[in-house]
Structure 1
Amino acid sequence: MNYEAFGRAKTDAPTIVLSAGLGGLGAFWKPQFAALSERFHVIAYDHRGTGANKGALPEGYTIAAMADDVVGILDEAGVGRCHFMGHALGGLIGMELALRAPSRVSGLVLVNAWQTAASPTRRCFAARLALLERSGPEAYVQAQPIFLYPAAWLMRHEDSIAREVAHGIAHFQGVENLMKRVGALLAFDVSARLGEIAAPTLVAGTQDDVLVPYLCSEALASGIPGAKLWLAAEGGHASTVTDPDGFNLELLRFLDETAYA
């Protein structure tokens, strides 16, 4: 597994691992890089099957296998414990990691994640997969911003969205890999195990997220002992991109309370 490490030295600061959603690319967290680099040793990675770790995924690929990939990265990097921040699918990886290897997780930040996929989430993925199967990868990537960003934000950022779509088409992870990754996230269900997560946790949601309703974040925060819930009024599914200042402020407030406690 290839990964990037930057920011402060791991001997001088806590480590935070950043895990993206279905797109899988560590660059998703670019709006957080500068803020985190000042205080943390940062590890960002592309999920297996995407980007720098592109390659065919095995049959029956699971969220547990994705969590094992993170353990491998930590071992390779010589990091014993870390804070872990995951967006959507990345949040599922974080919860699985906290359950499988609790001694490796100092804290969790779960952004627009879920304990089990709700009906609106399944409906969105069914529509996206139908588009992929019937119209191909280009149509799938062209439609993706609709699920990620609020309409008003899309109108104000047409140029950046065009570049993002062009990059997504050029570096598409492959139909088979995407299907396996979607299958893994839809099969994930941690409902019966939330109470076992012992790491300090921030659950961040967005009230206008059409892909993952904020009720999913409320359920996570209720089920994870001591979890803190932060709901933004707007920002869509990719609120870390659409409102980085607001998100980073809340993120650093939580990390300051836990990473340096």
Structure 2
Amino acid sequence: MAILRAGEVNIHYKLTGLALAEPVVFISGLGADWTNWNNQLNAFQDKYLCLAFDNRDAGLSDNSPTQEYEIKNMARDTIELTYALGLDYAHYVGHSMGGAIAQEIAIRYPERVASLTLVSTFARLEPLGIEILKDIGPLNTLAENGFLSELIGPIAYNMKSLNDQLLIGFLRNQGRPLNAPTDGYKRQLRAVMLQDTKTERLATIKAATLALAGESDLVTPLSGMQKIAQAIPSALFYSFPNTGHAPHVEYTYDFNRLLLAHLEANTFKRA
């Protein structure tokens, strides 16, 4: 367990890989802890310095029992963590809420972004997505390790994928990927509901961007991801067929292949 002070909160993180390699920062979604990226950390640690962490109000990071916040504050948490770890730039990969955080980082701290990968995320969450995420919160309080796939899987993943015993094993064995206290989950959800990364702000993103979507995603629909990719100059877009809200889990091999190609094409050049 490693914890560092990142601005106003203590952040629990996992740092693995090659110390002198280019850093890749993986940012988790609503309620999820760093284990959401286990498959990517295992795949990329031989080539990159990989950082994954628990957002505030998730996992072992600080919760904020009396403090409301916005996505921009979580973006600042991430940047403060990279400061504390001595990382002056990184490739940023964000899933769902983590993708919204990554957008804010690319807009507010462009000099620190080598490349951007947005996974099943949103500029502004649509009403259906909000309703689904409201439902996941109460389920999360019941989701002990062995029951996670039965309770939350049908919402987050494409139904066909739940016939895949490897996927079910991943969900059961990675710890508790939705590891947020109920109050913390609600605070994160309120931050998500406030977020609106307008088209004109997306258009200011200069980092090379890869946008990845699941064609059967109910939480962040394909159409919304397409709009994000269209708004960001020169963004590359790819959609996974028969895939729900977590292509990095449902189609790990193909996801990792696309991400690796993106990282290698955008090696950061120091001034």
Q: Name the structure 2 match of 1:216.
A: 224
Name the stretch that deviates more: 47-56 or 240-249. 47-56
Q: Name the structure 1 match of 2:190.
A: 183
Task: Please give the secondary structure, in 2, of the residue aligned with 1:209.
Answer: coil
Question: Could you give the per-residue CA deviations for residues 6-35 of structure 1, whole angstroms, max 9, x where no partner exists?
Answer: 1111x3x21110111113311111111132
- Tell me the TM-score normalised to structure 2 length: 0.85
Q: Is contact 2:58–2:185 with CA below 8 Å preserved after alignment? A: no
CA distance in 1, matches of 2:79, 2:233: 23
- Percent identity over the alignment is 25
Question: Could you give the per-residue CA deviations for residues 124-149 of structure 1, whole angstroms, max 9, x where no partner exists?
Answer: 224445xx2xx882179653211211
| Residue identity matched to 2:50 | V
User: Which ranges in structure 2 are unaligned for 5 or more consecutive residues?
Assistant: 1-10
Question: Could you give the per-residue CA deviations for residues 114-133 of structure 1, whole angstroms, max 9, x where no partner exists?
Answer: 1111232123224445xx2x
| 2:97 aligned residue (86, 89, 101) | 89
CA distance in 2, matches of 1:229, 1:153: 22
Question: Whose helix fraction is larger, Structure 1's or Structure 2's?
Answer: 1
| Residue identity matched to 2:15 | A
CA distance in 2, matches of 1:54, 1:151: 34
| Residue identity matched to 1:112 | S
- Tell me the TM-score normalised to structure 1 length: 0.88
| Residue identity matched to 2:154 | I
Q: Is 1:75–2:79 an aligned residue pair? A: no
Name the stretch that deviates more: 88-97 or 53-62. 53-62
CA distance in 2, matches of 1:159, 1:107: 31
| 2:211 aligned residue (188, 203, 221) | 203
CA distance in 2, matches of 1:214, 1:87: 14
Question: Could you give the per-residue CA deviations for residues 203-245 of structure 1, whole angstroms, max 9, x where no partner exists?
Answer: 0001011221111110110001111101111221111111100
Q: Name the structure 2 match of 1:49.
A: 57
Question: Could you give the per-residue CA deviations for residues 17-64 of structure 1, whole angstroms, max 9, x where no partner exists?
Answer: 011111331111111113211221111111112212143344321111
Task: Please give the secondary structure, in 2, of the residue aligned with 1:39.
Answer: coil
| Residue identity matched to 1:190 | T
Q: Give the total of aligned pairs.
A: 253
CA distance in 2, matches of 1:136, 1:91: 21
| 1:138 aligned residue (135, 142, 146) | 142
Q: Is contact 2:12–2:59 with CA below 8 Å preserved after alignment? A: no
Q: Is 1:226–2:234 an aligned residue pair? A: yes
Q: Name the structure 1 match of 2:169.
A: 160
CA distance 1:156–1:56, shift in 2 (3 Å): same
CA distance in 1, matches of 2:17, 2:180: 28
